[in-house]
Every structure is written in C-alpha cells, then in structure tokens.
Structure 1
Amino acid sequence: MRDIENREDIENLMTQFYTKVLNDKTIGYIFTDIAQIDLTEHLPIICDFWETIILHNQAYKKDVMAIHLDLNSKVTLTTDHFKQWLYLFNETVEANYSGSNADLIKIRAQSIATVMQVKLKQSM
C-alpha cells in the first residue's frame, strides 16, 4: 500500500471518508441535516485543509474553529460524535494508505479532534 503523496490522494481519501460519514447513523445527520453540506462544495475546502496540514501547501484559508463553534451552537457535538468521526477517518486511511503521511494524517486528526472538543466545551 502506498502513502498519501499528493492532492489527488487527499481527494480520494476525503471522497471515501465523506461517503461513510454521510451514511453513518451516529454522525451523518450532523452533516446532512444540521450543516447541510453540499459535498461538491465541501470536498475542495476540506481537501485544502488536509493538503495544508499534510503537504504544507497553505491552501486552506478559513477559520476551522469558528465553523465548528457555529455548528456546535446548532447541535451539541459530543465525545461520541468525535469518536465516531475519528473511527471512520482512521478506518478510511488504513484501508487505502500506509506510510509516514498516512500516520501523520491520523495523528493530526486525533489532535484536532481533541483541541476542538476542549475549545467547544470552553465556549459553552
């Protein structure tokens, strides 16, 4: 299995991941009913985010925390939500990629989820 090496790999990963997320019984409704994401609009943005984190291309320009604070004001994002998100994320990475960037993206996802949960709790 190969490592995450470029934007195309990130796009592939995010397409597979969001297919799982949108159909998930625990968190799918957050994306479909609450955030009402349009995947054709959301995927390029989320790919920019991960490209910035993993490939250091500075493609992402938004405030990720502000977006999730707004979402949290509509539905409380719980520890179980984050656990399921991470489970699906790691499962998708591990099914498709192996290597230092694959390891890094999982570590960063865990770190981001942890920091986000702390900041969301502090905002309440």
Structure 2
Amino acid sequence: MISPKEVIASVANIDANMNSIPVLNYTNFKSWKEKILLVLNCMNLDYALRKEQLASPTEKSSADEKANFEKWERSNRLSLMMLMHNIPEAFRGGMSDEVSVKDFLKEIEKSFAKNEKVEISKILADLVQMRYKGK
C-alpha cells in the first residue's frame, strides 16, 4: 500500500516536471519539444512514442499482450494530457481524442515547420533590404 507521504511526493514530482515545460508559442517549438520529450522519458511515459500502436487485445491474447496494450494506452493517454496542458487551444486544432501522441506531435511539428520557414524567409528578406548606416 502506498503511504500518504509517497502520494504527496509523487504529486510534487509530477507538478515539478509539468512546470519545467514552457507553454508552446510561436518562438519556442524546438526547446518546448526537447523539454516535453525529456519529461516524458524521465516519467517513463514515452512508451507510446517509442512503440507503434498495438492492436486491441482479444480473448485469445496472452497476458503479456494485454499488459503491453494497457501500458501503451496509459502512456499515450498521459502523454497526450501533458502535451495538451502545455499547448494553447489555438494550436491544438481539431485533433480528436482518438489520435496517438506520436501523430499529434507530428502534426504540431508540421505546423511549426511551416511557420519557421515563413519566419526565416521574412527575416532574410528584411536583412537583404537593410542598408548600412555607418557610424
């Protein structure tokens, strides 16, 4: 049985990990992704990112297959919850609850890759148009 002190320590650990992840915005995608992956790894919740989605177990499935499915489901659900917590609703789009964390992360990455290319093009255009006003 888990003692109340262990529960409090666990909740404090989760809270500290969650607070170490910045809220995603237009300028911090790379650092946000690094931190979210690190926290998921440290909390042992990255199983759904490392493994492909498993088929739902049947009555004929072995105990190991059922346990692996449950592990993947838990990892996926908690990882999605952590991502959602650190992403403003405007970035979430129309994602369904049935999406895997791996697919959700890929969709966000695609959005920010497009934004990053546009921003880099704008900065380069501004740089080309700048003139030196020597001193």
Same fold flag (TM > 0.5): no
Q: TM-score range by the shorter chain?
A: 0.3 to 0.5
Q: TM-score, normalising length from structure 1?
A: 0.35
Q: Going by fraction, where is helix more abundant, 1 or 2? A: 1
Q: What is the TM-score with the length of structure 2 in the denominator? A: 0.33
Which structure's relative contact order is higher, taking Cα pairs within 8 Å and 6+ residues apart? 1
